[in-house]
């Protein structure tokens, strides 16, 4: 596995994001590159990808190159009466599938941890949208509330053993298989019709909330819809936010709002996140939490590395006057130039000017 440096593309993107997040009171948080393997083994299904790179530390502990940032942030964040508002820029190390091998994945994101209120949820969603807008004015931020579909199935009395499969099919928008499964289980046609309408609903947030309000949802789903309606009112005027009930996340970790963000030119989500109170409980933390991550690696495809010069000036010489050459080069440096001195131009070397040192002088 090759370890890479952050590129100037990533540097530029992160500078914009950092400025945005710091202006909303988020502070930089750094985590270790390594964590004990046990942290990830107990929460493996939370981590994207199936493999974890491990090694044995000098004290005998089994360690892992961190495959996830959120788990490390939660583990290392002490309780506080005030909200912890943190942002990060880190690399994670994982293999998405056995054939791809391990990769270093660059992430930047933020976490809001503590006793979250509706404002805090709306602020994180707003910052997710504004972060995407910093990348493209044609961004899309898809939201859902996990209480909608799950609550509807529960309110409708659908067999609990069927619900995970129905939710999986909802994530695929597979109404054919979902309808067939419901018919075999004796689920009323009216319930199946509402479920089908929900999983195919994708519209701007306020419009989607209005359309859902016309459906017979039941108490649990209606409570989730009420929360979404308040979020929609708070975010009124924010462009690019859609409701898509086919979005799914593991309900052992996530609850409430989850989201995925997209920009033109990148075929997969460049942002993902949501509210993960369930993960906090699994790690024995008595607080709520919500956050998102941006995958900087994906942006390399969209934003090409800017052309940069290797030096401002290349000075060529014959080696006959080192003392004079040092003085001449020192003068260029004093003017702020980046200078390379060599007897011949290196292959592929990019510079603004080429000078020759001859007879005690620099000449074009």
- Given phi > 0 = left and psi -120 to 50 = alpha, else beta, which region is 14? alpha
pLDDT at 89 over 80: yes
CB neighbours of 52 closer than 8 A, spacing ≥ 6?
37, 40, 41, 44, 64, 65, 67, 94
Residue 67's CB: how many other CB atoms inside 10 A?
24
Tokens matching residue 6 = 């952050």
Tokens matching residue 335 = 């003017």
Buried b (16+ CB within 10 A) or exposed e, 118-148: eebbbbbbbbbbbbbbbbbeebbbbbbbbbb
- The pLDDT of 191-208, averaged and rounded, is 94
pLDDT at 44 over 90: no
pLDDT at 317 over 60: yes
- The pLDDT of 83-105, averaged and rounded, is 78
- The pLDDT of 240-264, averaged and rounded, is 90
Q: How far out from the chain centre does Cα 68 lie?
A: 11
Strand bridging mode 103-114 / 54-56:
unpaired
pLDDT at 270 over 60: yes
* Pairwise CA distance, residues 29 & 73, whole Å: 8
Percent above pLDDT 90 for the chain: 61
Tokens matching residue 243 = 């409701």
Q: How far apart are the first and last CA of the chain?
A: 45
Q: Which pLDDT score is estimated for 99?
A: 59
* Pairwise CA distance, residues 205 & 244, whole Å: 9
* Average pLDDT over the chain, rounded to an integer: 87
Return the minimum-mean-pLDDT range out of 25-39, 97-111, 125-139, 240-254: 97-111
* Pairwise CA distance, residues 286 & 80, whole Å: 10
What are the percentages of helix, strand and coil residues in the chain, rounded to 5? 40, 25, 40
Summarize pLDDT for 121-175 with one digit per residue, the tens: 999 999 999 999 999 999 999 999 999 999 999 999 999 999 999 999 999 999 9
Q: Which pLDDT score is estimated for 71?
A: 84
Sign of CA pseudo-dihedral 294, 295, 298, 304: positive
- Given phi > 0 = left and psi -120 to 50 = alpha, else beta, which region is 289? beta
Q: Which pLDDT score is estimated for 2?
A: 39
Q: Is the pTM of this model over 0.85?
A: no
Residue 12 near residue 302 (C-beta atoms within 8 A): no
Residue with tokens 């004290």: 59
Summarize pLDDT for 5-21 with one digit per residue, the tens: 445 557 788 889 999 99
- The pLDDT of 266-283, averaged and rounded, is 90
Q: Which pLDDT score is estimated for 93?
A: 78
* Pairwise CA distance, residues 318 & 178, whole Å: 79
Q: Which pLDDT score is estimated for 3?
A: 39
Summarize pLDDT for 48-74 with one digit per residue, the tens: 655 777 778 888 888 887 778 888 888
Return the minimum-mean-pLDDT range out of 55-59, 108-112, 254-258: 55-59
Please list the residues that pair with 363 across neighbouring strands: 356
Q: Which pLDDT score is estimated for 50?
A: 55
Buried b (16+ CB within 10 A) or exposed e, 22-57: eeeebeebebeebbebebbeebeebbebebbeeeee
Q: How far out from the chain centre does Cα 22 lie?
A: 17
Tokens matching residue 65 = 């190159």
Residue with tokens 């994530």: 171
**Residue 193 three-state SS:** helix
Residue 112 near residue 85 (C-beta atoms within 8 A): yes
User: Nearest Cα to 48, choosing from 90, 6, 89, 97?
Assistant: 97
- The pLDDT of 109-116, averaged and rounded, is 94
- The pLDDT of 278-292, averaged and rounded, is 90
Q: How confident is the model at residue 307 (pLDDT cuts 50, 70, 90)?
A: low
Q: Which pLDDT score is estimated for 306?
A: 58
**H helix intervals, the chain:** 8-23, 37-41, 70-75, 118-133, 146-155, 163-171, 175-184, 189-199, 205-213, 219-234, 277-282, 296-302, 322-334
């Amino acid at each position: 596995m090759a370890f890479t440096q952050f590129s100037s593309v990533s540097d530029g993107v992160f500078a914009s994001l950092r400025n945005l997040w710091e202006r909303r009171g988020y502070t930089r948080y750094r985590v270790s590159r390594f964590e004990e393997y046990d942290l990830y083994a107990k929460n493996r299904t939370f981590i994207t990808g199936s493999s974890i790179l491990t090694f044995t530390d000098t004290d005998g502990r089994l360690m892992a190159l961190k495959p996830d940032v959120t788990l490390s942030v939660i583990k290392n964040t002490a309780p506080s009466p005030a909200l912890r508002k943190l942002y990060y820029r880190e690399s994670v190390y994982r293999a998405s599938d056995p054939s791809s091998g391990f990769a270093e994945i660059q992430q930047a994101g933020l976490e809001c941890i503590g006793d979250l209120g509706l404002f805090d949820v709306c602020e994180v969603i707003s910052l997710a949208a504004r972060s995407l807008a910093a990348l493209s004015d044609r961004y899309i931020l898809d939201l859902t509330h996990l209480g909608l579909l799950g609550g509807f199935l529960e309110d409708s009395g659908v067999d609990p053993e069927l619900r995970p499969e129905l939710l999986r099919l909802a994530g695929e928008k597979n109404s054919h298989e979902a309808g067939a499964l419901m018919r075999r289980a004796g689920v009323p046609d009216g319930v199946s019709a509402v479920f089908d309408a929900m999983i195919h609903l994708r519209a701007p947030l306020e419009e989607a909330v209005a359309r859902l309000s016309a459906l017979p949802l039941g108490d649990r789903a209606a409570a989730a819809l009420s929360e979404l309606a308040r979020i929609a009112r708070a975010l009124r005027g924010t462009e690019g936010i859609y409701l898509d009930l086919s979005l799914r996340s593991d309900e052992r970790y996530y609850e409430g709002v989850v989201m995925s963000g997209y920009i033109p030119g990148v075929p997969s989500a460049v942002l993902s996140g949501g509210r993960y109170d369930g993960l906090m409980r699994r790690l024995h933390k008595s607080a709520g939490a919500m956050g998102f991550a941006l995958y900087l690696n994906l942006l390399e495809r969209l934003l090409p590395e800017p052309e940069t010069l290797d030096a401002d000036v290349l000075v060529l010489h014959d080696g006959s006057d080192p003392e004079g050459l040092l003085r001449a080069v020192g003068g260029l440096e004093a003017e702020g130039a980046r200078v390379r001195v060599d007897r011949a131009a290196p292959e592929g070397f990019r510079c603004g000017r080429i000078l020759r040192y001859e007879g005690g002088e620099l000449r074009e």
